[in-house]
Amino acid sequence: MTEHFSLAPEAAGPRLHVAGRSLELLQSVPELAPRYAAHEAVLTLDDVAALPPLAKDDLNVALAHLEPKAERGATWLFQSGGSTGAPKVGYAPTGFYMAGVHAHWRPLDRTDVFVNAWGAGRMWGAHFLAAALADLAGCQVIALGSVGADEYDEWLAFLRARRVTAIGGTPSVLRMWFARARAAGLKLPELRKVLWLGEAWQPQLAEDMAAVAPDARRWGMFGSTETWVVGTNTPDCPADTFHPLPEQLVHAGPDELLDFTTLNPDMLNPVLRYRTGDAGRIVSCPCGRPGRAMRVLGRRDSVVQVRGLGLDVDEVIARAEREPGVARAQVLITEQRGRATGVDVLLLTGRGAAPDLDRLRRELLSATFTLSTAFQHDPESFRVRAADVLISNDRTGKTSNLVVREEP
Ligand SMILES: [Zn+2]
């Protein structure tokens, strides 16, 4: 079964003692100890595959007990919660493990003028890990962070005047930058590199990039606040395919759920078969780089309960986004005391013909069992409407496919 791992047994073997140490740490957590009691050592990849997977809540229980501290320098606390929900805490040392990333992935060099557009503060990690990468690259950095809706035009003029060559952010934030520049007819002719992390790549972003910065190419990182950067890709790789780092062991289970095991001895979070909710496969990348790559197939936790029935949010989004004139869709569930009072599909419309909202609504309702059944008696509570902006999380800058709102 070792072909379901990102590393061959001979490459993983010398590093598996780190997984063994994570096992010992998890065994020392009273709430988790019974689950790991039958597991004695981690000597082979089969031993890894036999371990129980770790969920976000389990990791937070472990971290609350372990309270890890960096060997040198500061221990940073970051939000390791999801895109919605209350913040949970993950730990990292200064440097954020980016030396290991830089050893294998060098999108930036000393000649670059790099705009760090990941939001800073609020315990969000991406801005700081990008800063650490820029430090290793020795480039010029403009630490912009997130800006308000009315500030884009002014900053775009500044970035153009500074002849920026690189920008990095979550795809949702990058889309704002490129869409605003395109709408204003502004070009960034020197821009060559667009670094991204935090969400799946968005095809619409590539379209706006081509208009604003024809020479710019995408450079992706995949990871989470628990695992930190797991893998990277280049403009030659498909946007959903990443090359895992040698200190990250990626495993694709029989259900295609990915789990991650750190093989980095400096890692503070005991990441051992940790599941982020992403599905994927171990593949070889069409870019031709040797070794195993991981293809991310999207999230498997996209099914939510609506009036007791499972609604596949990604499926609704995909259908809505196939509609001409729809740039992006988002599902908004409104709840009152835990019961769904309404479901809205919000549509960010692009240039060109406006989508036929009534027809799309009727189609979604008739094609989606959960919607037609759950709203049988009040079909008017399922709505499809155009929106000027989708709902983003202020802390993370992410725009997730699903937003749940509680009504008083
Ligand atoms: Zn590749």
Pairing verdict, β 326-336 and 339-349: antiparallel
- 301 or 34, which is more confident? 34
Query: 164 near 178, Cβ under 8 Å?
Result: no
Rg of the Cα atoms in the chain: 22
- 243 or 2, which is more confident? 243
- Residue 3 Cα to ligand 1 middle (Å): 18
What DSSP element (H or E) covers 194?
strand 193-196
Strand runs (DSSP E) across 101-171, as ranges?
Answer: 113-116, 140-143, 166-169
Which CA distances in Å does 106 have to 99, 103, 220?
11, 8, 11
CA geometry: angle 371, 375, 378, nearest 5 deg? 150
pLDDT in tens, 213-224: 999 999 999 998
- 302 or 20, which is more confident? 20
pLDDT in tens, 314-363: 889 988 988 888 989 999 999 887 778 999 999 998 767 788 999 999 99
Is the pLDDT at 370 greater than 80, yes or no?
no
Check residue 395 and give its pLDDT.
67
- Residue 207 Cα to ligand 1 middle (Å): 21
* The pair of three-digit structure tokens given for residue 256, joined into one six-digit string: 């295609």
* The pair of three-digit structure tokens given for residue 196, joined into one six-digit string: 């991204």
Check residue 208 and give its pLDDT.
94
Q: Which residues contact 124 (CB under 8 A, 6 or more apart)?
A: 78, 79, 118, 395, 396, 397
Check residue 331 and give its pLDDT.
95
Check residue 1 and give its pLDDT.
56
CA geometry: angle 167, 173, 175, nearest 5 deg? 85
pLDDT in tens, 170-205: 888 898 899 999 999 999 999 999 999 988 898 889
Lowest mean pLDDT among 24-33, 36-45, 50-59: 50-59
Separation CA 1–CA 125 (nearest Å) = 34
Is the pLDDT at 84 greater than 70, yes or no?
no
Token pair 């049988």 is found at 376
Q: How confident is the model at residue 388 (pLDDT cuts 50, 70, 90)?
A: confident
Neighbour count for residue 96 (Cβ, 10 Å): 21
- Residue 282 Cα to ligand 1 middle (Å): 12
Looking at this protein, which amino acid is placed at residue 289?
A: R
pTM of the prediction? 0.78
Token pair 């070794």 is found at 291
Overall average pLDDT of the 363-377 stretch: 84
* The pair of three-digit structure tokens given for residue 49, joined into one six-digit string: 């595959």
Is the pLDDT at 83 greater than 50, yes or no?
no
Say how many Å lie between the first and final Cα of the chain, rounded.
Answer: 51
Nearest 10 degrees: Cα torsion 93, 94, 97, 102: 180
Q: Smallest Cα–Cα separation from 12: which of 248, 223, 209?
A: 248
Check residue 255 and give its pLDDT.
81
- Residue 330 Cα to ligand 1 middle (Å): 30
- Residue 237 Cα to ligand 1 middle (Å): 4
Q: How confident is the model at residue 82 (pLDDT cuts 50, 70, 90)?
A: very low
Check residue 81 and give its pLDDT.
55
- Residue 241 Cα to ligand 1 middle (Å): 7
* The pair of three-digit structure tokens given for residue 405, joined into one six-digit string: 């709102």
Query: 144 near 155, Cβ under 8 Å?
Result: yes
- Residue 161 Cα to ligand 1 middle (Å): 34
- Residue 292 Cα to ligand 1 middle (Å): 9
- Residue 371 Cα to ligand 1 middle (Å): 40
The phi-psi region of residue 393 (left if phi > 0; otherwise alpha if psi is between -120 and 50; otherwise beta) is beta
Is the pLDDT at 150 greater than 70, yes or no?
yes
- Residue 222 Cα to ligand 1 middle (Å): 13
